[in-house]
Structure 1
């Protein structure tokens, strides 16, 4: 075989080796993070739920997801161990750098989006009439079918 034809194969093997090595490093880091958990630590599960660690077991962890509400999770379901400041900022809203909106009020209707209030313009001119109006062609056909009962068709 020509050494040039082996080059793509060698590159592929090298890339797979690097990807496998990187994945193993990530798994080891995640396992170490889970091993550093202690009761009272704030965590985020892989499903995005925030909770506090109550008890640790070999493969499971007891989480308090709300005051007095406990659930057992697999340790592998813990996505991140959070430091106290981050956990309190996310769960309790304790944030000194919180966004200050200076008393901005969000309206509960769409009137502010259109620039007019619903109560401002009550004239008949601004209202749209949704009733069907008889046109020149409709008046003759309405007179023909006036005497017929519902369900009877016009004969043509």
Structure 2
């Protein structure tokens, strides 16, 4: 009878032992991977950013995230140290048959609009489109008579906004 009540606890303790053992192995493997980093190595952070290692400190690593842009990260933030071929394939597109002759982001905004006449024609068409009536009544212009009594411009209780009433 006592063995039956103790069995779930024994299984639970064994499972906890196996989980902590595998977690320790993963931590040791990650630490060993981080120790093999050298300046010039391509890495991926745990946030998914690819960068090149520039300097390695005791607890930090300086990464070049873009040409001339350096950032300091904790060593624990490095998720993977990549082989040179893999890093170049991911970051530069090398080996995919992908060649980019023009910059992805233009240097100026003039290249964003290809046909200026088409843009002007679209703007003119928008100006000529009928306006949507949202039910808001326009205020009468100077010299025009005021709207009739059915106009909702005055409150029904005869008080202006913010005017205190009496009971």
**TM-score between the two structures when normalised by the length of structure 1:** 0.63
Trace 1:1-156 onto structure 2 (pairs within 5 A). 2-96=2-96, 147-148=148-149, 149=151, 150-151=153-154
State the Cα RMSD in Å: 3.1
**TM-score between the two structures when normalised by the length of structure 2:** 0.59
Distance, in Å, in 2 between the alignment partners of 1:147 and 1:19 is 82
Secondary structure in structure 1 of the residue aligned to 2:79: strand
Cα shift readout 1:81-111 (whole Å, capped 9, x = no counterpart): 111122112211224266xxxxxxxxxxxxx
Distance, in Å, in 2 between the alignment partners of 1:3 and 1:97 is 66
Distance, in Å, in 1 between the alignment partners of 2:92 and 2:133 is 54
How many residue pairs get aligned? The number is 118
- In structure 2, stretches of 5+ residues that fail to align are 99-131, 135-146, 157-167
- In structure 1, stretches of 5+ residues that fail to align are 99-129, 133-145
